[in-house]
Every structure is written in C-alpha cells, then in structure tokens.
Structure 1
C-alpha cells in the first residue's frame, strides 16, 4: 500500500499554527500505522463519508480527508469541520 499527500493537503496545512499541524501529522501517522498493521490505535476516529472519501477526526474541530484509489491512499485536505463540509459539497 502506498500513501500520497496531494498538493491540496499541503496547502491546507500551510495556514495552520504549529500545534494544529502537529496534531494533524500525528493523526495521519496513526492512520498510516493502522493501514499497515491492521491494528487500530485507541482514539483513531475513522468515518466513511461519501464513496471513496474517508475522514480522520483529529480533534473535535479538526479533520483530515483521504480516499482510497486502488492500492494508494491519498490524503487530500485537512481543516475544520466546516471547511471539510464545503470541500465535500464541491465533489
């Protein structure tokens, strides 16, 4: 399994403060570990949203969206719950 970070994901992290970035990176790291080991760490909130799109709940407000593309997991965007809702309306 391969993991890709889309340019939109990198752009979504640019405007965040370092504390929020660190929490997002930690959640992404935990999810990658889960996909590789099939052992779900405590507190990893995964939810299927729409088709191939999935959500990782980082905090109550912060989310990360990713999707499955065959053997590739694409991390697409990170943001608040409202930012994610806007993104999902556009797809």
Structure 2
C-alpha cells in the first residue's frame, strides 16, 4: 500500500493548532497500522462515504477524508464536521 498527502491536506492540516495536528497524525498512524495488520483500532471511526472516498475521525469534531484507489491511499482534507460537509458537497 502506498500513502500520499495531497497539497489540500497539507494546507488544511497546517491551519490547525498543534494538538489537533498531533491527533490527526495519530489517527493516520492507526489507519496505516490497520491496513498493514488488518486489526482495526477502537475509536478510529472509519466510514465509507461514496465511490473511493472514506473518512476517519481524529477527535469528536474533526475528520480526515481520504481516497483509496488500487494500492494507493491519498489523504485529501482534514477539518471539522462543517468543513468536511462543505467539501463533500463539491465532489
């Protein structure tokens, strides 16, 4: 499995406070571990949205949207519930 971070992800993550960045990083690590081991960690909140789009939760309010195509996971955007809803309306 390959992992890539899109510029949109880096931009949205860059606007967050350091605590939220750490939570996002931890959630991504858990997701990668899940893909590598097959053991889903509790509280990851992995959810299929539509087509190739998925989300994970990194705290009660914030989400990360990513796509899975073939053997590549692309992290697209990180944000709160409202930012994610706005993004999903545009795709």
TM-score by length of 2: 0.96
Q: Count matched residues.
A: 91
Equivalent residue runs for 1:2-17 within 5 Å: 2-17=2-17
Aligned to 2:55: 55
Aligned to 1:21: 21
What is the Cα-based RMSD across aligned positions, in Å? Answer: 0.7
Q: CA deviation at 1:50?
A: 1.3
Q: CA deviation at 1:44?
A: 1.3
Q: CA deviation at 1:45?
A: 0.9
The unaligned stretches of length 5 or more in structure 1 are none
SS of the aligned residue for 2:83 comes to helix
Q: CA deviation at 1:51?
A: 1.1
Matched, 1:79 2:79: yes
TM-score by length of 1: 0.96
Distance 2:84 2:36 in 1: 26
Q: Deviations over 1:38-86 (max 9, x none)?
A: 1111221100111110010111110000011111000110000000000
Distance 1:43 1:86 in 2: 24
The unaligned stretches of length 5 or more in structure 2 are none
